[in-house]
Amino acid sequence: MLDFLKNRKQKISHVLGAPVKGKTVSLKKVNDPTFREEILGKGLAMIPYEGKIYAPADGQIGIVFDTLHAISMTTEYGAEVLIHVGLDTVQMKGEGFEGHVKAGDTVKKGELLLTVDLEKIKAAGYDIITPMLICNTTGYESVKGRTDIEVNPGEDVLIIEEK
């Protein structure tokens, strides 16, 4: 009688953890149109309470920008993740940033990627808000962030559903 249910494909979901200790916010609250308008992909942003950036999932590091203000990785299931520390922090030319991984490294969820001096960023006049995006958003059915919550590193914040 319910044979039609047998042929339905079950949706596969993946969850990314928080890359920082802090508060999650919608990308709509990011004071930069590239992130706010989701030009680089869907995701969420975090207001970090500490200057440690962790891997949100298991995967491989793609790019560690020379200025250490951003890092990309590809998860084991193919999500292309970009973590961008602060706004316009590329202008700091790496000052206040320390990298702990390099391109090509395989990482586990929770592994330390970057250490950042948040006070130095603020003193230089930059916003510390930290967007985390899925750059290949169009390859997924949905990308949904859990916003307006306080989280510790690794706690579930971004749900990606396969097509």
Residue 130 makes CB contacts below 8 A (sequence gap 6+) with: 19, 20, 22, 45, 46, 47, 48, 53, 83, 84, 85, 86
Q: Which two tokens stand for residue 67?
A: 């200025």
**What amino acid is encoded at 82 in this protein?**
L
The DSSP symbol for 51 reads S
User: Sheet containing 140-145: which strands, arranged edge to edge?
Assistant: 13-17, 156-162, 140-145
Q: Which of 14, 69, 84, 100 is catalytic?
A: 84
CB 94 within 8 A of CB 68: yes
Verify whether residue 69 is a known catalytic residue.
Answer: no
CB atoms under 10 Å from CB of 28, counted, come to: 12
Q: Which two tokens stand for residue 17?
A: 């953890």
47: nearest Cα among 30, 67, 64: 30
Q: Which two tokens stand for residue 29?
A: 């609250």
Active site residues: 84
